[in-house]
Amino acid sequence: MLTEFGRVFLFILIGIVFVAIGLVVAWLLRPHRPYPSKRTTYECGETPVGDTRMRFNVRFYVIALIFIVFDVEVVFLFPWALVYLSLGWFAFFEMIAFLTILFAGYAYVWRKGDLEWDRPAPRIPRYERGVGVREARLTEDEIAV
């Protein structure tokens, strides 16, 4: 007899097996003739430059942090949503208080501009006598953005 989570487990199992069969069959059937330029990362015909793992903008981290806080808030909302009808106004105002406190945090990050995205400053090419048009160089800070 399967429980509800047994069904979920079955779905996960079938998902894994489905992907595994696809990959294994493809591995068995395909010809295997590698050469160096075939093994490079596909970059629309360009030679790949640098490392795949680049630095991300620190904004992603702040957004992810704020996301987690509201993720946890949603977790609290679920059990409340199941019972608040039977518990009446007290439960309602309890949740209002909970949400108000979190909303203060939301207002704080909004007001402080943490949700704004740092845009890289525009680089205007300038003309130099004897050199011609010169691209403005990227600073280390801008590369990360």
Partner 1 sequence: METFDIIFYLFALITVGSACIVVFSKNIVYAAFSLLFTFFGVAGLYVLLQADFLAVTQVLVYVGGILTLLLFGVMLTNKVISVDMKTGTLHAVPAMILAAVVFGSLAGLFYATWSGVTAPASSIISTARPIGEMLMTGYALPFEVASVILLVAMIGAAFMARRPKKL
Stretch that binds partner 1, among 32-40, 42-50, 102-110, 124-132 (CB under 8 A): 102-110
Which of 38-50 are b and which e, b meaning 16 or more Cβ less than 10 Å from the residue's Cβ?
Answer: eeeeeeeeeeeee
Q: Is 53 in the site for partner 1 (CB under 8 A)?
A: yes
Closest CB 47 distance from partner 1, rounded Å: 20
- Helices 58-87 and 89-111 cross at an angle (nearest 10°) of 170
Residues 11, 19 contacting (CB under 8 angstroms): no
Tokens 């007001």 sit on residue:
111
What tokens does 13 get?
């199992």
Stretch that binds partner 1, among 20-28, 35-43, 91-99, 123-131 (CB under 8 A): 91-99
Q: Which residues bind partner 1 (CB under 8 A)?
A: 1, 3-5, 9, 51, 53-56, 58, 60-62, 64-69, 71-76, 78-84, 87, 90-91, 94, 97-99, 101-102, 104-106, 108-109, 112, 114, 118
